[in-house]
């Protein structure tokens, strides 16, 4: 069924954004995908899907994982990027001026996912404050609706609606209250990939990469992971990409270009994990 671009509730017509289109591929850690899909499963008419949270260090691929899981269950995926400035009305409905200066009501991607029976990926959810989370509380329990203070209407969620939030393990986040945590279960942790999985991720993102540079980056990531440092495969992708550009532009060996790229991207503090 094609996604609706408008949705009428009572006398209010909501304008709905389209699903998010991302050219990404999830490689490895299939257990995480299976855990997500199990959380979304409905076994009986009286059963409800769970609202999992994907937790891990920044750059672990949490958003990519959630997006890939949504596609695997055959649903449109809608991404909402949470920030410290996200307000309740940003999450639900905002009034805007239309082409004829009339007031229109623009729904968020969360609303679009809810009414179209899609998957909502609320990215970096623990950057959002409690007041904003409270506006989502009735969507994430047995009530399954959103209430717009702007329009004064309740927006019911389709039975096929699914939700997941990603959360970073770092200091720049809010501590959420228990009533929100209890709605965001289970907690699914994404850890560092195995080395061969990291190699496959790097090659998928940079198929033109020099094999020697790839080897240096993989060795760096392996040593950093052993020390439980914050460096992730996303950093590795950026290092490989920049090292390849330097190799194309400057005189020097792949090892020299790797070390220069790493120093310029991650800083001097990353050098102890380099062995060229």
Give the pLDDT score at 71: 95
User: From CA 120, how far away is CA 131, in angstroms rounded?
Assistant: 19
CA torsion angle 27 172 164 205 (round to 10): -20
Q: Tokens 């409690």 appear where? A: 130
124 with 166: CB under 8 angstroms? yes
Please, which residues bridge with residue 121 across strands? 79, 164
CA distances for 274 relative to 41, 108, 217, 259, angstroms = 44, 44, 9, 8
Residue 143, CA distances (Å) to 40, 48, 80, 175 in order? 17, 10, 21, 24
Q: What is the DSSP string of 39-106?
A: HH---STT------EEEESTTS-HHHHHHHHHHHTT--EEEEE--TT--HHHHSEEEEE-TTS-EEEE
At 94-138, the pLDDT tens digits run 999 877 878 899 999 999 999 999 999 999 999 999 999 999 999
Closest CA to 125 of 186, 64, 84, 179: 84
Residue 196 class from Cβ within 10 Å (0-12 exposed, 13-18 middle, 19+ buried)? exposed
Helices and strands of the chain, counted as H and E runs: 10, 11
Task: Give CA–CA dist 162/73, Å, rounded.
Answer: 10
Q: Are 125 and 53 in contact (CB under 8 A)?
A: yes
Structure confidence at residue 171 (pLDDT): 64
Compute the 3-state secondary structure of the chain and give helix, strand, coil in percent, each to the nearest 5: 40, 20, 40
Residue 174 is predicted with a pLDDT of 78
With a cut of 80, say whether residue 3 has pLDDT above it.
Answer: no
Q: β-pairing, 145-148 with 153-156?
A: antiparallel
What pLDDT, in 10s, does the model give residues 229-264?
999 999 999 999 999 999 999 999 999 999 999 999
pLDDT digits (tens, 9 = 90+) for 179-212: 999 999 999 999 999 999 999 999 999 999 999 9
User: Does the structure show a pLDDT above 90 at 4?
Assistant: no
What distances in angstroms separate CA 235 from CA 62, 81, 100, 192, 240, one per listed residue?
Answer: 14, 21, 47, 12, 9
Chain centre to alpha carbon of residue 124:
7
Task: Single out the residue of 115, 95, 97 nearest to residue 105, CA to CA.
Answer: 95
pLDDT (tens digit, 9 = 90+) per residue, 132-171? 999 999 999 999 999 999 999 999 999 999 999 999 987 6
Q: Which residues pair with 33 in a beta bridge?
A: none
Checking if the pLDDT of 172 tops 80, the result is: no
Q: How confident is the model at residue 2 (pLDDT cuts 50, 70, 90)?
A: low
CA dist 137 and 150 (Å) reads 17
pLDDT exceeds 70 at position 80: yes
pLDDT digits (tens, 9 = 90+) for 13-45: 999 999 999 988 899 899 999 999 999 999 999
């Amino acid at each position: 069924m094609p996604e609706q671009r408008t949705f009428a509730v009572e006398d209010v017509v909501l304008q709905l954004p389209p699903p998010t289109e991302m050219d990404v591929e999830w490689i490895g850690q299939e257990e995480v995908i299976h855990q997500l899909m199990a959380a979304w499963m409905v076994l009986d008419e009286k059963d409800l899907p769970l609202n999992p949270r994907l937790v891990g260090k920044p750059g672990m691929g949490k958003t990519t994982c959630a997006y890939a899981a949504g596609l695997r269950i055959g649903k449109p995926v809608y991404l909402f990027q949470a920030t410290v400035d996200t307000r309740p009305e940003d999450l639900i409905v905002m009034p805007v001026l239309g082409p004829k200066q009339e007031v229109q009501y623009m729904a968020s991607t969360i609303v679009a996912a809810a009414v179209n029976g899609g998957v909502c990926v609320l990215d970096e959810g623990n950057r959002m404050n409690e007041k904003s989370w409270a506006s989502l509380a009735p969507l994430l329990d047995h009530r399954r609706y959103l209430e717009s203070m702007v329009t004064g209407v309740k927006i019911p969620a389709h039975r096929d609606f699914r939700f997941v939030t990603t959360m970073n393990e770092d200091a720049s986040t809010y501590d959420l209250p228990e009533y929100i945590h209890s709605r965001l279960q289970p907690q699914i942790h994404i850890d560092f990939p195995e080395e061969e999985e990291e190699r496959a991720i790097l090659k998928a993102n940079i198929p033109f990469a020099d094999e020697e540079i790839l080897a240096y980056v993989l060795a760096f990531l392996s040593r950093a992971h052993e020390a439980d440092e914050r460096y992730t495969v996303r950093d590795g992708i950026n290092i490989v990409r920049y090292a390849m550009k330097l190799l194309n532009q400057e005189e020097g060996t792949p090892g020299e270009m790797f070390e220069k790229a790493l120093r310029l991207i991650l800083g001097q503090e990353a050098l102890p994990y380099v062995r060229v």
